[in-house]
Chain A
Amino acid sequence: MFSTCLRTTLRTSTNKFGSLARYESTLVIAEHNNENLLPITCNTLTAARKIGGDVTVLVAGTKCETAAKSACKAKGISKVLMADSDVFKGFTAESLTPLVIKLCNDHKFTHVLAGASAFGKALLPRIAAKLDVSPVSDIIDIKAPDTFVRTIYAGNAILTLKSVDKVKVVTVRGTSFESLPLEGGDAKCETVAAVDVPNQVQFVKQELSKSDRPELTSAKVVISGGRGMKSGENFELLYKLADKLNAAVGASRAAVDAGFVPNDLQVGQTGKIVAPNLYIAVGISGAIQHLAGMKDSKTIVAINKDPEAPIFQVADHGLVADLFKAVPELTDKL
């Protein structure tokens, strides 16, 4: 049933926490668009399996059967619970919380997990408040079922903490855990009845930025532009390079604040956290807040005309050059 690695994790955790030992059972709240699970859900499933014990996945949405079916294929999960109702339109925290609380009461989950995306960050603390437990944000590692590692101060310190609450409510940093492939599993899907939802928040609309490029947080290559790009039109240089490398395009806060690109491209402490194989920072000085979002990238390339820019202290390869010459040259030669 369980993989060897899962069994080992379970065994060590039991040994380490003798008297506390109980069978772990984790609920993962899937983030999806009713058709597909979003990539961060697959990273969260890996974290859930690292905790050990049973993993149940909740897929709540409107006409979300396709998403629920794909969740059933994830290897090593025990069950998928599907809640299909119009009340979950917009996936608001207010509509999902009562359902999750009911499931927690019925199934006595020891852990409730979701990805640390805008969805997970809005939802899980509300659930934690209802359970009267202290949530744990954006974990980067799991040492034991009650011991987690996360970053504080914009990634400048690493905190290892032990949660003493009865239920651990945890959001997971997607880039810190491998993605669990949605294949090889055959979990059964149970439908759960919707619970009464207070009509508190009315979903009006979403305006998503359209792009053919890979999604920022899961892209293998990310090219980001900063204040040095000087204008939104100049980002075209980065898009051309991105197309050659099949890369996602990101931005520093300065570029977003200056209106060069929309907010959802911001990489940093208060934007997205990325950890691609290759991160190319163009015209970005490398403030603490930006580094918080990208310094776990495998290889960092910086192109900046200021040799003193802090970005060069974390860059594997630095190019002190005018980006308006270097970027087109790079694009042409690739």
Chain B
Amino acid sequence: MARVLVGVKRVIDYAVKIRVKPDKSGVVTDGIKHSMNPFDEIAIEEAVRMKEKKIAQEVIAVSCGPSQSQDVLRTALAMGADRGIHVDVPGPEYQTLQPVHVSKILAKIAQEEKVDLIILGKQAIDDDNNHTAQMTAGVLDWPSGTFCSKVENNNGELTVTREIDGGLEVVKMKTPAVLSADLRLNEPRYATLPNIMKAKKKPIKKISPKDLGVDLTPRIKIISVEDPPVREAGAILPDVDTLIAKLKEGGHIPSA
């Protein structure tokens, strides 16, 4: 029976229109609605389904970040994870925390907790990196099934359907392995009120990257964070003929 580790990240809610700080050092995060990264919800859901199918024995949720990261861990626990690990990375250090650091933290925890499978979201919707799963697999030297839309487990042999550019691809690998969840993997459940209450009793262990011996020295310097160029709204056209005329004008279709 397998033990599954799932990484969850607290990010600005996907529906929030973000604002860039006037000093160009980042985006405004104070007082902004945060929630669990949508891909991580899918990862948790998959792990919990494995547990329900009795493929997995225990689901451990882990999150790296400031104390508020415990909120997303509680959400993961309410969705069905058994226990949480909060890797405490306070504000200033969190600004420069990158997948290169997180992957080492996850790898260390995976070894200490003797997990057989790590499931992560394919990317966080804040930094849009799409790195952590691949890097964690690299650090551990485990096979990776990235951008999964289907996972079948047959006694520790995984058949993974991946979303690739031209369509789908199927690969097989043995556990231990690292998977990254794509949108199509599943439909995450809502945490019900009784489960949210129960989740309050589930344990969350707090540790520091130092405990794990992971060095958080920044590997990048943020030079600036700026607003993207604004597109000027165009005109509403009265009919299809005007549209065709405009397209001809713009050289998009040959004018007859």
A157 engages B220 (CB within 8 Å): no
Q: A126-B144, A263-B163 are in contact. Are A204 and B170 (CB under 8 A)?
A: yes
Q: Are B138 and A128 in contact (CB under 8 A)?
A: yes
Tell yes or no: B122 within 8 A of A by CB: yes
- Cα(A334)–Cα(B241), bound, Å: 10
Q: Pick the contact of A90 from B139, B169, B225 — CB < 8 Å?
A: B169
Complex Cα spacing A272 to B166, Å: 11
Contact A129 B135 (CB under 8 A): yes
Q: Which of A134, A313, A317 contacts B219 (CB 8 A)?
A: A134
Identify B146's interface contact among A122, A204, A208, A272, CB under 8 A. Answer: A122
User: What is the 8 Å Cβ interface bit string for chain B, positions 161-172, against chain A (1 contact, 0 not)?
Assistant: 011111111111
Give A219 to B141 CA distance when docked, in angstroms: 38
One of B130, B167, B239 near A207 (C-beta < 8 A): B167
Given A153-B126, A156-B18, A125 and B131 contact (CB-CB distance below 8 Å): yes
When the two chains form their complex, are residues B219 and A137 in contact, meaning their CB atoms are under 8 A apart? no
Q: A137-B128, A317-B237 are in contact. Are A125 and B183 (CB under 8 A)?
A: no
Contacts of B253 in A (CB 8 A): 245, 334
Q: Are B165 and A125 in contact (CB under 8 A)?
A: no
B99 to chain A, nearest CB (A): 7
| Interface of B, helix, strand, loop or mixed by DSSP | mixed
Q: What's the Cα separation between A125 and B167 when bound, in Å?
A: 22
A-facing residues in B208-228 (Cβ within 8 Å)? 218-228
Is A8 among interface residues, defined by CB-CB distance under 8 A?
A: no
- Once the chains are docked, how many angstroms separate the CA of A314 from the CA of B145? 36
**Among A94, A262, A288, which residue has its beta carbon within 8 angstroms of that of B143?**
A94
- Whether B123 contacts A155 by the Cβ 8 Å rule is no
Given contacts A128-B100, A134-B100, A333-B241, contact A319 B236 (CB under 8 A): yes
* Residues of the B chain whose Cβ atoms lie less than 8 Å from the Cβ of A156: 17-18, 227-228
A209 at the interface (CB under 8 A from B): yes
Check B143 against A201 for contact (C-beta < 8 Å): yes
Residues of A in contact, count (CB < 8 Å):
89
Bound-state Cα–Cα, A124 to B100, Å: 12
Which residues on the A side are within 8 Å of B168 (C-beta)? Answer: 206-207, 263-264
Shortest Cβ distance from A278 into chain B, in angstroms? 5
**Closest-CB distance, B58 to chain A (whole angstroms):** 24
Inter-chain contact B167/A158, CB cutoff 8 Å: no
Determine the chain A residues whose CB is within 8 A of the CB of B143 once the complex forms: 94, 200-201
Contact B218 A159 (CB under 8 A): no
> Are A317 and B167 interface neighbours, CB within 8 A?
no
- Decide if A147 touches B18 in the complex (CB within 8 Å): no
The A interface is mostly helix, strand or loop, or mixed, namely mixed
A124-146: contact bitstring with B at CB < 8 Å (1 yes, 0 no)?
11111110111111100000000
A111 to chain B, nearest CB (A): 15
Distance (whole angstroms) from the CB of B177 to the closest CB of chain A: 8
- Complex-state Cα separation, A93 to B218, whole angstroms: 26
* Pair B125/A165 contact, Cβ less than 8 Å: no
Closest-by-CB residue of B relative to A33 is: B166
CA–CA, A164 to B220, complex, Å? 6
Among B14, B130, B172, point to the contact of A121 (Cβ < 8 A). Answer: B130
Q: Is the CB of B169 within 8 A of A206?
A: yes
* A312 and B233 contact, Cβ closer than 8 Å, known pairs A128-B100, A205-B170: yes
Nearest-CB residue, chain A, relative to B226: A158
Additional pairs, 19, CB under 8 Å, beyond known A137-B131, A138-B128, A160-B225: A118-B165, A122-B134, A125-B133, A134-B99, A135-B129, A137-B128, A153-B126, A160-B226, A162-B221, A201-B172, A201-B173, A204-B171, A204-B172, A205-B170, A206-B169, A264-B164, A301-B247, A313-B231, A333-B240
User: Can you list 25 contacts pairing A with B, beta carbon distance less than 8 Å?
Assistant: A125-B133, A129-B137, A152-B126, A152-B127, A153-B126, A154-B128, A157-B227, A163-B220, A198-B141, A202-B171, A202-B172, A204-B159, A205-B170, A206-B166, A206-B170, A245-B253, A253-B183, A264-B164, A270-B122, A289-B14, A299-B247, A301-B243, A312-B236, A317-B235, A317-B247
Q: Which 9 A-B pairs have the closest CB atoms?
A: A129-B138, A125-B134, A134-B219, A316-B234, A200-B143, A129-B135, A208-B166, A204-B170, A134-B100
Binding site for A on B (CB under 8 A): 12, 14-15, 17-18, 20, 27, 39, 98-100, 103, 122-123, 125-139, 141-147, 149, 159, 162-174, 182-184, 218-228, 231, 233-237, 239-241, 243-244, 246-247, 250, 252-253
